[in-house]
Amino acid sequence: MNQIINRQIQLASRPQGKPKTEDLKLVEEALNETAEGQVLVRNHFLSLDPYMRGRMNASKSYAKAVEVGEVMTGGTVGEVVESRHTDFKTGDMVVGNGGWQEYSLIDGALCRKVDPSWPSPSLALGVLGMPGVTAYTGLENIGKPKAGETLVVAAASGAVGAVVGQIAKIRCARAIGIAGSDEKCQYVKTTLGFDECLNHHDPALSVKLKEACPDGIDVYFENVGGRVFQAVQPLLNDFARIPVCGLIAHYNDTQLPDGPDPTPRLMRDILVKRLTYRGFIVWDFASQENEALKTLAAWIAEGKLQYREDFINGLEHAPQAFFGLLQGKNFGKLLVRLH
Amino acid sequence: MNQIINRQIQLASRPQGKPKTEDLKLVEEALNETAEGQVLVRNHFLSLDPYMRGRMNASKSYAKAVEVGEVMTGGTVGEVVESRHTDFKTGDMVVGNGGWQEYSLIDGALCRKVDPSWPSPSLALGVLGMPGVTAYTGLENIGKPKAGETLVVAAASGAVGAVVGQIAKIRCARAIGIAGSDEKCQYVKTTLGFDECLNHHDPALSVKLKEACPDGIDVYFENVGGRVFQAVQPLLNDFARIPVCGLIAHYNDTQLPDGPDPTPRLMRDILVKRLTYRGFIVWDFASQENEALKTLAAWIAEGKLQYREDFINGLEHAPQAFFGLLQGKNFGKLLVRLH
């Protein structure tokens, strides 16, 4: 057994700025034996997420960097083909951090069975996985949208943004999205039910955002930074909450933008408007994961929560799909179908 | 009655940058009659506080601006000389917002009797007033220093900073102060009992702060901004809390500092370290005022909380004293003795 030839994508070199094709390489190698406590998983789906760009850098972040020559980190859903952990048996569908590869040996303590009642196991990487729980816990603990308040979120058709806005609507707040194309904006309004969605390529973004938020902004769920943040800032109301979850506009930056240095203005706003900026990572609220998944799954079953998956076929196409993700080329939760 | 000639200091013009002598003028005028519901107070003490610089500007802040030709706003303690409010009688010592003047007509609903058991009624403007309650509520609600953590506060010999650091010590945290002279630093360490205090004029401030905080910084009580903030930022630990209470280094700014624009780095820090920046004003926690005063007064009685008052004699000297406050020339809570 385990004479399987595995295909995986490794970090070949640390990107400077925008990652290039040569920074990732496809490698074939024989799998190790499944050790005691591990499960061998044949991965069906690999999740591609913006945070992975950070893992490609050497610099300290909230998680350790991927080393050059290591398999790229990433969430996976797949089928157990051999189990040496008592909680799992062959045929179980599990979610875990299997990395960018077709087969993974995962410590059983670090993976979880996918609820077979869910519409598709791939949802365990999106609306019923890390992105959905990120949206849920960021709002429950920090954003706290109240009825009648206005919430703004960018990347609104993406895995996290779509859930953020729909939860705001469920909480009877107004949801204003920002997305990267007119088609995405249409989807965000029509299918996801946001009150408005603006195209961030529109040169009049600031003006239009002001029009879309006549009562100001009470919650800004920050996942992009850059121009959107600049458009949002002057519209923040007293006591607004800003969960800081991602900054995709800056992940490829190699230097700081030109001045002036607006820090004193930002801090004055924080003081005068009594703003709360708070960064978080989904696992800070690990104890709320079960509650979040139960609630999100119920909303899906009730038709209150929509989702969209954007599939790419084949591990070899993961790098280009990931580069596209950093430029907003995906439309919905980006997944690589591996088998 | 009320044929009293009152002396007051009015805003004569809105300062551009650093306020000048001509921006404030001393005016004498006859007092109005005491209206129903009001008390006439002969002020003994006027509090001078950094926030007053903001009130001199036209721009929107958390409180309305002082208009040109109006008396400058400010906290006062004085003796009731005529009462048309049932809660007060002649001779009561009261604290309220009497403004920069020798006599004030104050709505009885907006002032409070000073506890006669306190060591001095002037404390109702300092350690047992707005500055003390600011320190207390900012730490109880946002900073939350825990035993063994490290707290940093600037203007450490000032009205707010001195209380912040001493509360940190009472909570068994380490307290590192920053102050504007070696004499102040000595006082902060010896009398207030901080673990360390650094002179912000020291060109090696960043290096020395790092040495003084070998385990990083868990709470930074922000009341100054500028260089101190820059020195603190790289030392913040994961999950650090930054109550934003004041930015005295920037109150006279007329333009933003030169670039680059470090916002992406600041936001990345917030995200990666899961920092909380939260602005507050003392009256956001008005419901906690009685608890705060009771606790602070008890700590004074037990010898756990020290304070220092810096008195100036005569209303006519208030403007220069205030200008000095903005440059850190006071040593302790700055008060004008009016009679």
CA A56 to chain centre: 16
Segment B83-109 shows an average pLDDT of 98
pLDDT of residue A2: 55
Domain ranges across chain B: 5-126+308-337, 130-283
Residue B81 has pLDDT above 90, yes or no: yes
Q: Is A317 on the interface with B (CB under 8 A)?
A: no
Residue B62 has pLDDT above 90, yes or no: no
Share of chain B above pLDDT 70, in %: 99
Question: Over the range A173-190, which residues count as b (16 or more CB within 10 Å of their CB) and which as e?
Answer: bbbbbbbbeeebbebbbe
- What amino acid is encoded at B224 in this protein? V
Q: What is the pLDDT of residues B193-224, one digit of tens each?
A: 999 999 999 999 999 999 999 999 999 999 99
Instruction: Please judge whether B267 and A250 are an interchain contact, meaning their C-beta atoms are less than 8 angstroms apart.
Output: yes
Residue B61 has pLDDT above 80, yes or no: no
Contact call for residues B151 and B165 (beta carbons, < 8 A): yes
Residue by residue, DSSP assigns A198-265 as EETT-TTHHHHHHHH-TT-EEEEEBSS-HHHHHHHGGGEEEEEEEEE---GGGTT-SSPPPS---HHH
- What amino acid is encoded at B289 in this protein? E
Segment B264-287 shows an average pLDDT of 96
Residue B1 has pLDDT above 70, yes or no: no
B258 neighbourhood in chain A, CB within 8 Å: 259-261
Kind plus residue range of the DSSP H or E element containing B276: strand B276-279
pLDDT of residue A61: 76
CA A1 to chain centre: 36
In whole angstroms, what is the distance from residue B325 CA to residue B155 CA? 11
Residue with tokens 């506009």: A249
Kind plus residue range of the DSSP H or E element containing A76: strand A76-83
Q: What contacts B337, CB < 8 A, 6 or more positions away?
A: B44, B45, B311, B312, B313, B314
Contact call for residues B222 and B245 (beta carbons, < 8 A): yes
- What amino acid is encoded at A308 in this protein? R
Q: What is the pLDDT of residues B255-268, one digit of tens each?
A: 999 989 999 999 99
Q: What is the fold of A5-126+308-337?
A: Quinone Oxidoreductase; Chain A, domain 1 (3.90.180)
More confident residue, B192 or A62: B192
Q: How many CB pairs lie under 8 A apart between chains A and B?
A: 141
From residue B151, alpha-carbon distances to B75, B212, B217, B339 in Å are: 29, 11, 6, 39
Q: What is the pLDDT of residues B135-180, one digit of tens each?
A: 999 999 999 999 999 999 999 999 999 999 999 999 999 999 999 9
Instruction: Please judge whether B277 and A280 are an interchain contact, meaning their C-beta atoms are less than 8 angstroms apart.
Output: no
pLDDT of residue B220: 98
pLDDT of residue A59: 80
pLDDT of residue B2: 55
Domain B130-283: CATH architecture, name and number where available:
3-Layer(aba) Sandwich (3.40)
Nearest to B164 by CA among B176, B148, B150, B153: B153
* pLDDT-wise least confident of A55-64, B3-12, B95-104, B292-301: A55-64
Sites in chain A below the pLDDT cut of 50: none
Nearest to B153 by CA among B123, B195, B201: B195
pLDDT of residue A67: 95
Q: How far is B55 from chain A (nearest CA, A)?
A: 12
Report the residue from B262, B274, B278 with minimal CB separation from A280: B274
Query: Does the ipTM exceed 0.90?
Result: yes
Residue by residue, DSSP assigns A6-19 as EEEEEE-S--SSS-
